Amino acid sequence: MLSTASISRTAVRSAFRQSTLPKVLAPTSIAQWRRTYASQAEEKDLVIIGGGVAGYVAAIKAGQEGMKVACIEKRGALGGTCLNVGCIPSKSLLNNSHIYHQILHDTKPRGIEVGDVKLNLAQLMKAKDTSVTGLTKGIEFLFKKNGVEYIKGTGTFADEHTVNVELNDGGETSVVGKNIIIATGSEATPFPGLEIDEKRVITSTGALSLQKVPESMVVIGGGIIGLEMGSVWSRLGAKVTVVEFLDQIGGPGMDTEISKMSQKILKKQGINFKLGTKVVSGDTSGDKIKLQLDAAKGGKEETIDADVVLVAIGRRPYTAGLGLDKIGVDVDERGRVVIDSEYRTNKPHIRCIGDVTFGPMLAHKAEEEAVAAIEYLKKGYGHVNYAAIPSVMYTHPEVAWVGQSEQDLKKDNIKYRVGTFPFSANSRAKTNLDTEGMVKMLADPETDRLLGVHIVGPNAGEMIAEATLALEYGASSEDIARTCHAHPTLAEAFKEAAMATYAKAIHY
């Protein structure tokens, strides 16, 4: 197999030598040929297909390790879904819509009287776009700094070592790699019977760029993406209804007790919920979109109307046009690229990381895999602890968790001890007039080793880092409780929850 691959690479290189051009070609003909093939095939130490979080981090890390790297990205902007139409722009809208909502509803008790408040949606979107552009340009700078070749175009496998690229600016090129990493990410899962137009029937991408605030919005799917984007448009004035097939919001990974508390808070903010409910069909022919609903376990049917429907039922691996079948790379029944513990596919020199393979579809998980994959490639070892991957929902208050949930422990018949502490008893939360939520800890009753942490409350997304570090190093709840935390801080609620887990909290 190695000799065959070598022959293939040699043949590809010779095919692109200028000396193979007929000498009778006029200069204009040579120019035309060069426009068709933008550059000759060149062997790299590593070729990465996809410039999203997984791909660009792998490229930078490989460049830092002295490897000759090319990264292929068809979007024309680095950062993938996360940076362009996901994590980053959604956080901009979440933050600014929260400020707008707070000015409207939460300044008078603070002694701040505000006059006429207006929403400038165009400026809100411009602020989002400015953030995105600045960050994508920053990644391009890091590519140059670390010697990474950035190829803007769509990559397709020609053979096991060669990737053909249809360039965004026209023409084609090819690049040959001793090693290849697939990092093509994921796409929104469509809903059968509802055609996505990103104007009335939208995914998260369309939800980031609506031209006006709809009077009503139905969100199909009560997971993190649906709840975050539903929160944005609810704050801006839309009547939002979330339809979720499961009996809880936040997805199966969210602790059930935390999920119920979050739902109660979001409902108080104006979001309506229909849990244990499925969307049977949709009709977009009228001025309003009509959705036919039914109880998930069978029951009474109902019809609801909406100006905009957000489809947020999850994401699926994206491999369209990659040509994996051509080179025999295995995928599973869900379209995920099959890998081993070192991210190798069944073709050992081709690895795969991020959303397009197994595990939670989270940007930070993809980053960890990117670094580990390069370490395996260069050093023969790497590390990602999948038991300590945090999740965050950036609603207000935020929801964050890491490790096992209470329902996980019950399902696996694992004994545990619970400790909680409410933000209503935390001095910083009280002075900020932001007291909804709590910190919940789960620990082994014999060893006191931390098993999981679940937080709903202000600053939860930042606070979960301490919990993740504690899990990574096998800390006990007593270790956390005996670690001095600054006063007054929200993080003291974390310390007090740890005290409640191994003994008793002081301030509650």
**Cβ partners under 8 Å of residue 326, min gap 6:** 157
Q: Tell whether the torsion through CA atoms of 420, 424, 425 and 426 is positive or negative.
A: positive
Whether 91 has a binding-site annotation, put simply, is yes
Top pLDDT among 240 and 33 is at: 240
Q: pLDDT tens digits for 264-319?
A: 999 999 999 999 999 999 999 999 999 999 998 877 899 999 999 999 999 999 99
Whether 222 has a binding-site annotation, put simply, is yes
Cβ atoms within 10 Å of 56's Cβ, excluding its own: 29
Q: pLDDT at position 300, please?
A: 81
Q: How far is CA 102 from the centre of its chain?
A: 27
The answer to whether residue 199 scores a pLDDT higher than 50 is yes
Buried b or exposed e, range 10-48, using 16+ CB within 10 angstroms: eebbeeeeeeeeeeeeeeeeeeeeeeebbbbbbbbbbbb
Whole-angstrom distance, CA of residue 263 vs CA of residue 274: 11
Catalytic residue among 98, 105, 383, 487: 487
The answer to whether residue 80 scores a pLDDT higher than 80 is yes
Whether 161 has a binding-site annotation, put simply, is no
Here the contacts of 98-102 (C-beta below 8 Å, separation 24 or greater) are 98/235, 98/396, 100/235, 100/236, 101/235, 101/236
Please give the angle made by the CA atoms of 196, 198 and 199, to the nearest 5 degrees.
115
445 prior amide bond cis, ω within 30? no
The answer to whether the CB of 309 falls within 8 A of the CB of 220 is yes
Whether 314 has a binding-site annotation, put simply, is yes
Q: pLDDT at position 138, please?
A: 97
- Residues paired with residue 449 on neighbouring β-strands, in sequence order: 476
Whole-angstrom distance, CA of residue 348 vs CA of residue 63: 21
Q: Please give the full DSSP string across 483-508, using - where no structure is assigned.
A: S---SS-TTHHHHHHHHHHHS--S--
487 catalytically annotated? yes
Residue carrying structure tokens 């038991």: 387
The answer to whether residue 232 scores a pLDDT higher than 80 is yes
Whole-angstrom distance, CA of residue 132 vs CA of residue 126: 10
Q: How far is CA 112 from the centre of its chain?
A: 37
The answer to whether the CB of 185 falls within 8 A of the CB of 80 is yes
The answer to whether the CB of 149 falls within 8 A of the CB of 69 is yes
Backbone angles phi, psi at 86, to 5 degrees: -145, -115
Q: pLDDT tens digits for 155-195?
A: 999 999 999 999 999 999 999 999 999 999 999 999 999 99
Whole-angstrom distance, CA of residue 459 vs CA of residue 195: 37
Q: pLDDT at position 40, please?
A: 52
**Cβ partners under 8 Å of residue 411, min gap 6:** none
Here the contacts of 121-128 (C-beta below 8 Å, separation 24 or greater) are 121/211, 121/212, 121/213, 121/236, 124/93, 124/96, 124/97, 125/209, 127/92, 127/96, 128/89, 128/92, 128/93, 128/96, 128/208
Whole-angstrom distance, CA of residue 386 vs CA of residue 33: 49
Q: pLDDT at position 42, please?
A: 67
**Segment 244-254 mean pLDDT:** 95
Whether 137 has a binding-site annotation, put simply, is no
Q: pLDDT tens digits for 435-490?
A: 999 999 999 999 999 999 999 999 999 999 999 999 999 999 999 999 999 999 99
Q: pLDDT at position 37, please?
A: 43
Whether 282 has a binding-site annotation, put simply, is no
Domain 397-501, CATH class in plain words: alpha beta
Top pLDDT among 9 and 129 is at: 129
Backbone angles phi, psi at 80, to 5 degrees: 65, -160
Whether 227 has a binding-site annotation, put simply, is yes
Q: pLDDT tens digits for 375-412?
A: 999 999 999 999 999 999 999 999 999 999 999 999 99
Within the chain, how many helices (H) and strands (E) appear?
Answer: 16, 21
Whole-angstrom distance, CA of residue 161 vs CA of residue 44: 10
Whole-angstrom distance, CA of residue 375 vs CA of residue 365: 16
Domain 44-188+316-379, CATH class in plain words: alpha beta
The pLDDT mean for the chain works out to 92
HEC string of 419-472 equals EEEEHHHCHHHHHCCCCCCEEEEEECCCCCEEEEEEEEECCHHHHHHHHHHHHH
Q: pLDDT at position 298, please?
A: 74
Closest CA to 406 of 275, 254, 281: 254
Whether 369 has a binding-site annotation, put simply, is no
The answer to whether residue 34 scores a pLDDT higher than 90 is no
The answer to whether residue 495 scores a pLDDT higher than 80 is yes
Closest CA to 49 of 207, 211, 162: 162
Backbone angles phi, psi at 331, to 5 degrees: -125, 155
Whole-angstrom distance, CA of residue 149 vs CA of residue 44: 10
Global pTM value: 0.90
What letter represents residue 301's amino acid?
A: E
The answer to whether residue 11 scores a pLDDT higher than 70 is no
Q: Where exactly are the structural domains of the chain?
A: 44-188+316-379, 201-313, 397-501
- Residues paired with residue 439 on neighbouring β-strands, in sequence order: 421, 455
Q: pLDDT at position 14, please?
A: 35
Whole-angstrom distance, CA of residue 275 vs CA of residue 277: 5
44-188+316-379 against 397-501: fold identical: no
Whole-angstrom distance, CA of residue 508 vs CA of residue 496: 9
The answer to whether residue 23 scores a pLDDT higher than 70 is no
Share of the chain above pLDDT 70, in %: 92
Q: pLDDT at position 5, please?
A: 38
The answer to whether residue 221 scores a pLDDT higher than 70 is yes
The answer to whether residue 4 scores a pLDDT higher than 80 is no
Closest CA to 402 of 351, 337, 473: 473
Superfamily per CATH, domain 201-313: FAD/NAD(P)-binding domain (3.50.50.60)
Q: pLDDT at position 12, please?
A: 33
